[in-house]
Structure 1
Amino acid sequence: MAQMLERYVYKNQKKMRCGYTTGTCAAAAAKAAAQMLLSGRKVTEVSVRTPSDITLTLPVCEIQMKAHAVSCAVQKDSGDDPDITNKILIFAEVSYIHNNSNMNKSMDMTVKKCDTESERSDTAAVKPQIIVDGGVGIGRITKKGLARPVGAAAINPVPLKMIEAALKETAEAFGYEGGLQAVISAPQGVEIAKKTFNPQLGITGGISILGTSGIVEPMSEQALIDTIRTEMKMHLADGEQTLLITPGNYGQDFLHETLKIELKRSIKCSNFIGDTIDMGCELGAKGMLFVGHIGKLVKLGAGIMNTHSKMADGRMEILAACAVRAGAGIETVRNILDCVTTDAALELLKNEKILGKTMEQLMLRIDACLQKRGGDNMQIGAVVFSNEYGLLGKTEQADELLLKITADVSSEK
């Protein structure tokens, strides 16, 4: 019986089981297929070491053995993470590379010579040729800026190294000096990919083989941050110097319906405002404009750069402070603090005839916090709106940033 991963983390006071990545599945399937190809013996489980130095023993299924190729699969286990790829099968077909006329002959002799584990251990280290590619259900890169070149299979660098290492390790263990090719596939990936970020990233035809640690941590924020980074790199590689960022769907709707900017020009950052700014600085963006609903962006007025409610709130406190500077009386401030939603607070401010002045104060605070986080090398700004009241305010550099973005859009057409 194969040993499954028994590793847990705590999220929101809940014990949650970790899983393993599509990259780990691909490496394990490739290793098992290579073992069967070189030994001629069926393998029902395989051990693979992840980059996080955890060794997993995983079951192998869907085995098909031919004379010069073996195919098998490992099922993805995402643990308690709500991963769209959970339970899908990741296949690897490993075959001999037919670029050596003596390959079959040397292969037969090599396997016979190294038929036992003790004999394999005495074999001198060899460096076989290794090729890894993607098959059905694995996406293809069509745009610059991603971790792999245009035309390559969407197998990220760490999983690629894992697969290559697994094949080299197996070839050396059997004393095999010829070449091996692994084709990774995921038949279910064709449909699953339509529900992922891949189409936006210019990855067509399937899912990506992912993972940096080999382990899936439930509810991982890092996975989303990595996706944002990838999308930013793609936009920059396309020649965009000023990045247009929205926290979510409300922001994208406002861009499309009010500002008349195509959605493909924007990047969703979810709650990770600060991380997005940091990544923009790191990747060399010249400018960054945030367009978002006041319910999210109001928090920037207090320097709250992760806008998720579990991290911090302070929406009413920030609006109350801005209202004071706009001339609000104590009763108005109390009423703002009692509001549950920002729309309710905006209605109160409108009735008191200080909505405009309060928003001016808020934009000054947001601007100061964005400038501090962005530093001297990036032009940065924000546009804030609400669904009911429309445009509420812009920071000082917002209009200039919008002009640069719209000019880029026009040049693209």
Structure 2
Amino acid sequence: MIINQPCSGYTLPVFACAAAVAALQYLQQKNQFLQQVSIDLIDPAETVNIPIEQIAMLTENSALAITRSDPGDNLDLTRNTPIWARVEWVNHLPLPLSSPGRRDQLSDAIFIQGGEGIGYHEKTGQTAIYRYAKLLLLANLEKYLKPNEKILITFILPEGKQLATRTSNAAFGIVEGLSLLGTTGISQALTVPEQLEHYQAQLQEKAREFDCLVFCIGENGLDLAQKMGIPPQQIVKTANWLGSMLVSAALAGIQSILLLGYHGKLIKLAGGIFHTHHHLADGRLEILTAYCATAGLPTVNLQQIFNSTTAEDALQYLRELEVIQGENWVNQVYGAIATAIDHRSQAYIYTHCEKNVKVGSLMFDRKRKIIITSKIADTLLQQICYSNLNHS
């Protein structure tokens, strides 16, 4: 029996870059059709050929090229989505270029901006095109430009707004589309079981060196953890498999775990939900409403919490109530939730493997501002950061 191995593909920034390169070459060569372009991935250090689906001149000074995302066998919602890049010659660009906005200057010759379907930061207006995408563009475009030539690239994801509703982008202030986000050009082809096994393998490796680990559900948690001074070697990414990862950690000999995550995810643990993907189970607002009721919020306020669109909206409403009523609702409610998360996590571990592991929780909001740190989490944080200082 032959088992087909999963096929790797490429991340979204690679296809965006390929579309930009194709449009530039078409603009330079005047209507010479390109079936594919070569892209230096930088990380990993290899060059790959990316197919070009369509290409056309728009005006005498601009061209449009279209690629289509292919993440391989990876679980990626951008599969087969078209990516457009419009490239135009510019002699000068409207100022101000350096102020916050949807245009960014990569070099003296290359400017980029987000069009339809490319998300942007709600607070700053800055387009959600990140470091790796920018490095790709510089490495692959500058070599084609002659001295004094300048281009403006506009990226468009026609399906971006629709796809963004299936992500947690809005919870972190990215609105109106997707991000060109990634740290590598390769989209690892992992099935759901393989992804969990990958995280468990990392956990096993770290457990050989530490008896206390920090679990981060997503990229925002990873970023905050490192800014807090938590050493990367003690951080484990869990994605949505909190239950499996907690038990795996206990079996690997871990004595204590700090859960660090967005409140809209971690709050589910207080309701006994240990796989946090929204397609499997979601009771965030119901759980939050129950804890608000226990804290003594009036019925009219409970109804507002329950009918909130998101957990973030409910948190904001609680903060507004604090100002109006003079009650410390956030600390009362989230303090009780954090304590419940700690207790339920410890009980979950013992139920599944009869191991006693100390678990603490820290929750943050969409601006990565810490909402609450449980008593156990506070103790673990002090131990982790103190140990890190001593080893620095």
TM tier, smaller: 0.5 to 0.7
Q: How far apart are the structure 2 equivalents of 1:57 and 1:78?
A: 14
Once the two structures are superposed, the pairs formed by residues 77-96 of structure 1 within 5 Å of their partners are 77-96=70-89
> For the structure 1 residues 14 and 72, does the alpha-carbon distance in structure 2 shift closer, same or farther, using more than 3 Å as the test?
same
Aligned residue in 2 for 1:401: none
> Aligned partners of 2:19, 2:377: CA distance in 1, in Å?
55
- Could you tell me how far 1:31 is from its partner in structure 2? 1.0
| 1:132 corresponds to | 112
| Structure 2 unpaired stretches of 5+ | 94-106, 200-215, 228-259, 270-275, 277-281, 294-304, 316-336, 362-371, 380-392
- Name the residue aligned to 1:55: 47
Correspondences of 1:14-93 after superposition (within 5 Å)? 15-40=5-30, 41-50=32-41, 51-65=43-57, 66-93=59-86
Per-residue Cα deviation, 1:42-99 (whole angstroms, up to 9, x for no partner): 2221010112113210111221113101110111001111211100011110111231
TM-score (normalised: structure 2): 0.54
1:78–1:294: structure 2 CA closer, same or farther, 3 Å change rule?
Answer: farther
Write out per-residue CA displacement over residues 336-393 of structure 1, whole angstroms, 9 at most, x where no aligned residue: xxxxxxxxxxxxxxxxxxxxxxxxxxxxx55x4549xxxxxxx9538xxxxxxxxxxx
Contact 1:29 1:92 in 2 (8 A): yes
TM alignment of 1:138-217, pairs within 5 A: 138-143=118-123, 150-171=124-145, 175-217=146-188
Q: Which residue of 1 aligns with 2:383?
A: none
Match runs of 1:220-235 below 5 Å:
220=195, 225-229=218-222
CA distance in 2, matches of 1:79, 1:132: 27
- The reply on whether 1:298 has 2:288 as its aligned counterpart is no
Q: CA RMSD of the aligned region, Å?
A: 3.9
Structure 1 residues 170-202: Cα deviation after superposition (integer angstroms, max 9, x where no partner): 21xxx3422111111110111111111111111
Q: 1:25·1:76 contact (CA, 8 Å) conserved in 2? A: yes
Give per-residue Cα distances to partners, 1:244-290, cap 9 Å, x unaligned: 433533566422332467821899xxxxxxxxxxxxxxxxxxxx947
Unaligned runs of 5+ in 1: 1-12, 101-126, 144-149, 235-240, 268-287, 302-313, 319-364, 372-378, 383-394, 399-413
Q: Closer, same or farther in 2 for the Cα pair 1:298/1:54, shift >3 Å?
A: farther
Q: Residue deviations 1:119-154, cap 9 Å, x none?
A: xxxxxxxx75110111011011114xxxxxx21111
8 Å CA contact 2:342, 2:360 repeated in 1: no
Contact 2:10 2:70 in 1 (8 A): yes
Counterpart of 1:324 in structure 2 is none
Percent identity over paired residues: 22
2:226 and 2:174 mapped to 1: Cα distance? 14
Are 1:264 and 2:299 counterparts?
no
Structural mapping, 1:370-385, within 5 Å: 370=360, 380-381=373-374
Which is greater in Rg? Answer: 1
1:209 maps to a residue whose letter is L
How many aligned positions are there?
Answer: 248
Q: Could you tell me which amino acid in structure 2 is paired with residue 298 of structure 1? A: A
Q: Quote the Cα distance in structure 2 between the aligned partners of 1:190 and 1:231.
A: 27
Tell me, in whole angstroms, the C-alpha distance in 1 between the residues paired with 2:149 and 2:354: 69
Asked if 2 retains the 8 angstrom alpha-carbon contact of 1:128 and 1:178, the reply is: no
TM-score by length of 1: 0.51
SS in 2 for 1:27: helix
User: Which amino acid counterpart does residue 54 of structure 1 have in structure 2?
Assistant: E
User: How far apart are the structure 2 equivalents of 1:163 and 1:211?
Assistant: 13
